[in-house]
Structure 1
Amino acid sequence: MTIAPIILHQPRRLAVGAGTVAEVGNWAGDARSVLVIATPITAGFADRLKPPGRVTVFDAIPGEPDTKTLDAALEAARRSEPDLIVGLGGGSVLDVAKLVAALWDSQQTLADVAGPNRVAGRRTRLAQVATTAGTGSEAGIRSLITDPGKGNKIAVESPHMIADLAVLDPELTYSVPPAVTAATGVDAMAHCVEAFTNRRAHPMIDGFARMGFQLVGKYLARAVRDGSDTEAREGLMLGSYYGGICLGPVNTAAGHAIAYPLGTRLGLPHGLANAIIFPHVLAFNQPAAAGKTAEVAHALGLGQDLSSTELVEAAHDFCRGLGIEMSLTAHGAKKDDLPLYASEAHANRRLMDNNPIDMNVDDVLGIYRAAL
């Protein structure tokens, strides 16, 4: 089998460990104007950055940012004219920070850069400080923004959006609630698993994926039980980071495609949507990736030599054991809406075409019904 060529982009500098958030100020040097992009909660960490110069905080980032959010953040940047942008938050914040760094002082618009490799080369310095362990956005070259008019996500991908500095400081995740820790942790695992079992899987990315889902299997339950467990929190942040690396050259597949309508239509947080879908897609893909699926099951403690039905049940129990409500009905889904979700998910060829088994619309609908 011929191995496809691959290009891997990673942040130019990575700081990992308790207290490393202060590295932002040390690294920033003589920055005159710093724009910190955050949520109302993560803005509370801004003082720990110890940034130089004039600091402006834009903290109006919701859980699922849309084009209006981006427009507001771009306007804040144009007012403050930053020479350093700091994303301080989870994946939504980090995604917006990438786009602001690329677009605020550019003639390009979001429509101009949508898709792969369309961002012009010039951009403001960018530091990405993760405050959750889920999306791995601090590691990657991709940003997702919801288009409220069309109800889908606009994907922008460019090596010009990679961070100059990424920080994984477990102390910033101590206050993440158990439910959010659980859902974002499963999202990080899903990034790794979907890349691992992907049609475009690559031996080098397989290595990052293995490290990622093994770390989640080892540490997620511990971090849910005790949010101040530094070792567990750091392990999860590394697992999330490795998942972010998987996204660039390989990307996710059907699991994320099926989860997206749950975010855009139901308003479910990204991690929760992926957690609900994860067991079903893992089992659906098992026939095409039996050996790799067995590795995942072993790392998560699900058991050995599992049938498809046993695998769904074991993965479902794994997620439910973390406190995740796994029923779509409990989150407001209606049976009559599922065909719309299925058609939208199936139309996401960017991800669906990566799946190791072709899915038709009825397959997708079956997964939604099984998760209902």
Structure 2
Amino acid sequence: MGSRLIILDPELCLTTPPYHWLSTGFRSFDHCIEALCSLDATSRSDEKASKGLRLLAPNLLKCKQDPDDIEARQQCQLAVGLAMDNIRAGIPMGGSHAIGHQLGPLGVPHGVTSCIMCPAVMKYNLKHGGGNPEIGRRQAKIMDILWSMSEVASTFEHAGLSQVSADLGDLLDAHIRALGLPRTLSEMGISSDLIPGLSERALADFWAPTNPVPLLKAEQVREILEAVA
């Protein structure tokens, strides 16, 4: 994370299997989402995360449509740098990362954990964050960014979503499905009987309490996990 020099060459990435390219790309998408949702965000972190989101959202879709799109791959690489800058700066992530860290030991690839957890965590935070209007305001800002890009908006419309009724979780779900990536625990071979243990272990993650709705009880995590069982 503290590298002095990073060489980005999109041509070297052409042989990366699409599943890994797209899922790890969405992991950075999740970095931007949770940074923008963080109640400890700064104007600088918001700027970087917003820029990263504007690069990743359309260009991941372009990479799905045309794996040989060099420009799209380079834009994704640049976006990852912006996303990681906020991690290095100490902007705390939330429930998607906290719970996702517990899915890795069960064989879920790092990027796929975000595909499964991020939409569910956004919905949970919106549902249970009524006492803090900042949660809804920050999610609304992300939605405005996503709808403002024509390529991304058309993906939402194709999924039958509208700006009037869809929430952030709905938009993320549509984007992930357009990338052809997993959305549920069962798709990754994780049965519902593992949820209680996962829920307990997630509480020990350092980003569980920094979720916009702090995850302090196992039943909170269980609700999120059951939504994507």
| TM-score class normalised by the smaller sequence | 0.7 to 0.9
- Equivalent of 1:351, from 185, 207, 210? 207
Percent identical: 28
- 8 Å CA contact 1:175–1:227 kept in 2: the answer is no
- 8 Å CA contact 1:217–1:299 kept in 2: the answer is no
How much is the aligned-residue C-alpha RMSD, in angstroms? 1.7
The structure where helix makes up a greater share of residues is 2
Aligned equivalent of 1:292? 138
- 8 Å CA contact 1:176–1:227 kept in 2: the answer is no
C-alpha distance in structure 2 between counterparts of 1:313 and 1:164, whole Å: 39
- After superposition, what is the alpha-carbon deviation per residue over 1:50-76, rounded to whole angstroms, capped at 9, x for unaligned? xxxxxxxxxxxxxxxxxxxxxxxxxxx
- After superposition, what is the alpha-carbon deviation per residue over 1:120-146, rounded to whole angstroms, capped at 9, x for unaligned? xxxxxxxxxxxxxxxxxxxx3xxxxxx
How far off its partner does 1:315 sit?
2.0
Map 1:1-372 onto structure 2 (within 5 A). Answer: 140=1, 162-249=2-89, 250-264=91-105, 266-286=106-126, 287=129, 288-300=134-146, 301=153, 302=156, 303-306=162-165, 310-348=167-205, 350-359=206-215, 360-372=217-229
SS in 1 for 2:182: coil
Distance 1:205 1:311, change over 3 A: closer
- 8 Å CA contact 2:202–2:221 kept in 1: the answer is yes
Aligned equivalent of 1:49? none
Larger CA Rg, structure 1 vs 2:
1
| Amino acid of the structure 2 residue aligned with 1:354 | T
C-alpha distance in structure 2 between counterparts of 1:357 and 1:283, whole Å: 11
Aligned equivalent of 1:39? none
| Amino acid of the structure 2 residue aligned with 1:347 | A
Unaligned residue ranges in structure 2 (runs of 5+): 147-152, 157-161
How far off its partner does 1:181 sit?
2.1
Q: How many residues align?
A: 208
How far off its partner does 1:305 sit?
4.3
| Larger displacement relative to structure 2 (287-296 or 191-200) | 287-296
Aligned equivalent of 1:33? none
SS in 2 for 1:351: coil
Moved over 4 A (4+): none
- 8 Å CA contact 1:294–1:305 kept in 2: the answer is no
C-alpha distance in structure 2 between counterparts of 1:367 and 1:357, whole Å: 12
C-alpha distance in structure 1 between counterparts of 2:37 and 2:200, whole Å: 23
- 8 Å CA contact 1:191–1:251 kept in 2: the answer is no
Ranked by relative contact order (alpha carbons within 8 Å, sequence separation 6 or more), the top structure is: 2
